Chains A and B, each alone.
Chain A
Amino acid sequence: MSVSAPSEIGAEFTRAADDLLRGVLGRESVRAEIDRSGWSSVGWDAVVDAGWSSVLLDERHGGLGLGITEVSGIFTAVGRHLLPGPLLDHAIVAPLLANWTSAPAAERLLSATEGARTMTFLDVQARGAAHAKPPRFATAGVYGEVDLVPFGARSDDFVIVAEAGDGRPCVVIVDARTSGVEITETASFDPLTRYSHVSLDGASAEPVLDQGSTQGASIEARLATLRATLRLMIACELSGMARAMLDESVDYARERQQFGKPIGAFQAVQHLLADMCASVLCLDAACEMDAISAAGESGDETIAGLHAKAVASATCRAVAEGALQVHGGIGFTIECDLHRWVQHALALQGVYGDERELARMLGDRLLVGAFEPWG
């Protein structure tokens, strides 16, 4: 067994992100804005200024050129402190596409990593709809429907996974305010996300990554890497959320008194919290191991992404339910902060597949011997 340790720089980023977000999102006014609008201008400006979108970006584009084990801790902190906004799109999708592509339109991705424009990634597979049809891209423009687009109404640009004329996938960029784009806000129960439905009817689009511009790897392989990385980072975010819900629950169990003692002195409550704690630690370890495995030479990033996201989806859902139980009546109200994590966890559970879907994808691969389980 090789015993690999997490990265030092990653730990630095985690601490810095934690401090920054605690400071900004701890403010009463910021939380009120988020509750009202599902957005925080102060919070978003702060992360843009912090330069998190440049962590993965190559040095030739003015980035830091680091890897996913360095950036993952930022997402754990985002989950812990519940920052709203398309950070995955800005800190993962934009820099990776910019690193890979030779297309001239890559310049437009950099306006997202620099924070000049707000960008959202539209991938029908993100909604768990592996079988859903992606939009079509033809010379005249892009055509199709994408549902449940987070922050769609706040976006300046859409980066869209589409199907090119030759049947192969490609990624194109569309100005959200151009003609042929229709954005309809749809209802959301997640206090951290506002959804939109995006209709594309001949909207003018430029390719940012296609088979002609991938510089070596196939477009399919690039998209697989992108989705694996997104799954890993969402897993980290869920891990931060699960940890926060556990901490909230332990604090509450120490404080809340019944029968003349804290409810955390009762074994029934203790054992529920102990189970939550064990699964939170396991998720944290899984995120770390899978990120290291995906970043390594011999690791299988797709498997690592499927695994981390499966553990995260199952764990965060179970921890949310445990936390609600520990909090009793107050947990059932929006007066208690817990509801933000709970509802956001339910929203993220299914993004790029929930645990059932992902377990099936892993099982399918295991049955045909597509990878060595303990390789």
Chain B
Amino acid sequence: MSETFETYRGRARTWLENATIPTLPDDFTERFEIGLAWQKELHRSGWVGIHWPREYGGQGLTIEHQLVFTNELVRARAPQPIGLIGLDVVGPTVLRYGTEEQRRRFVPRLLAGDEVWCQGFSEPNAGSDLASLRTSARADGDELVINGQKTWTSWAANADWCAVLARTDAAAQRHKGISYVLVDMRTPGITVRPIVQLTGDAEFNEVFFDHVRVPKGNVLGPIDGGWSMALDTLAHERAGYALRRGIENEVSYLQMLDAIRSDSEQPGNKDELASDLGMTYVHLRAFRALTQRTARRLLADDIPSPYDSVDKLMLGASEQRLFGMALDLLGPSRMAPSSRPHGLHADQIIKGYLYGRSASVYGGSEQIQRTLIAERLLGLPRSR
């Protein structure tokens, strides 16, 4: 029997109180390095892969323990582990669909932060319509030869491995004929071109594959069977993501509130400020209520579910409302990162606002989510 949540929470809190919690710097490369070092430290002390099986480097506890620790990280204003693509998406897919050999090879290093992953899904002509992807993986003896281009690939310039969706059967219909291939980023023929985002960070990249040779043993699951695997895992991870991101937004709100409260000048209309803060609180707290149900679904293993689309839609809306409000509090300083109106840190708010605009796009745009809700929750006829 694992330890109780309360003891676990206490142990996590004590550990975090004694740990040196890093502040993530502005510079993207430095931020990545510091974040990775933080992940390694968390892992050494047993705080990464909390609900993952012990035989692959996890702690063998429950998802509820993981939720407790995520909460404690946020409470301590500590950053999340950096290798989130690996931890959130690729790792669970390998655990679920990989061979024993693949699990032992990839999962422990991914948890330890020894290997960082990126995910090559989107292409210049395959965004929301991901199944129209064209990157090909042609069989040649014991190898696949990959040709094509991926885009919006987060962390590709820092990653050791990439999970690539590629077409292994050019003749098959859209969703069929796609395989999930694990590609070593040091393989000859891969070119990475960073793309600077609205926030100023170059988290995004284009990745070009020019006759990249990968052993067939690096295909995850059956050849031509990658599509449903990829989607299933993405859906599985959505619930956990909504919970974590919701808490992060609550912390951002708390930091803004702290800043406003300690601001001695308190300029402007107090009533208006109270209204704005109050209305944003109403929305964030309602999202918290929604994710309490998400947590119940997670614990009951009732995922993926069409309700995940509701979470995704409401998460985007509450994050954008939060930073939209904050940006408006900056007034004429909306694009002046060094100003401090109301005591607020304009730089964080500007970046948060700009980053927040992606919350209704990434991982399935809000339009896609609305269509899913209409079809799967409301039982309306297919519109396509």
Residues of chain A at the chain B interface (Cβ within 8 Å): 1, 3-5, 250, 253-254, 261-262, 264-267, 270-271, 273-275, 277-278, 281-283, 285-286, 288-290, 307, 310-311, 314, 355-356, 358-364, 366-367, 369, 373-374
Contact = CB atoms under 8 A, between A and B. Distances in A.
Given A1-B292, A363-B275, A282 B287 contact: yes
B381 A374 contact: no
Contact of B285 (A262, A278, A286): A286
Interface stretch (B39-47, B206-214, B254-262): B254-262
Given A262-B381, A366-B278, A374-B288, 6 more contacts: A253-B380, A261-B381, A275-B370, A307-B281, A363-B274, A366-B274
B286 A283 contact: yes
A359 B279 contact: yes
Contacts, number: 153
A330 to B, nearest CB: 19
Could you tell me the dominant secondary structure of chain A's interface residues? helix
Nearest to A303: B285
Contact of A285 (B250, B292, B371): B292
B67 A1 contact: yes
A90 to B, nearest CB: 28
Contact of B289 (A264, A266, A282, A366): A282
Contacts of B198: none
A364 B278 contact: yes
Interface string B219-247: 00000000000000000000000010001
B302 to A, nearest CB: 13
A261 B382 CA distance: 11
A310 B275 contact: no
Contact of A356 (B67, B257, B275, B293): B275
B368 to A, nearest CB: 11
B10 to A, nearest CB: 15
A265 B243 CA distance: 32
A374 B253 CA distance: 10
B282 A270 contact: no
Contacts of B299: 3
Contacts of A358: 278, 282
B289 A285 contact: yes
B270 A367 contact: yes
Interface in B351-374: 367, 369-371, 373-374
Interface string B67-104: 11001000000000000000000000000000000000
B383 A364 contact: no
Contacts of B276: 363
B373 A274 contact: yes
5 contacts: A261-B381, A270-B380, A273-B374, A277-B378, A367-B261
A243 to B, nearest CB: 12
Interface stretch (B126-134, B156-164, B306-314): B306-314
Nearest to A307: B285
Nearest to B375: A270
B381 A264 contact: yes
A364 B289 contact: no
A112 to B, nearest CB: 33
A307 B282 contact: yes
| Residue from B71, B313, B375, B379 with most neighbouring chain A CB atoms (10 Å) | B313
Contact of B274 (A290, A307, A355, A364): A364
Interface string B297-334: 00100000001001001100000000000000000000
Contacts of A373: 250, 253-254, 257, 281, 285
Contacts of A288: 289
B17 interface: no
B37 interface: no
B80 to A, nearest CB: 16
Contact of A281 (B261, B285, B310): B310
Instruction: List the 7 closest pairs (A to B, CB-CB), nearest first.
Output: A363-B278, A363-B274, A359-B278, A270-B374, A274-B370, A289-B289, A362-B278
Given A367-B260, A373-B250, A274 B378 contact: yes
B192 interface: no
B170 interface: no
Given A262-B381, A271-B370, A281-B307, A362 B281 contact: yes
B281 A366 contact: yes
Interface string B12-34: 00000000000000000000000
Given A1-B71, A363-B277, A367-B261, A271 B290 contact: no
B296 interface: yes
B288 to A, nearest CB: 7
B286 A254 contact: no
Contacts of B379: 250, 254
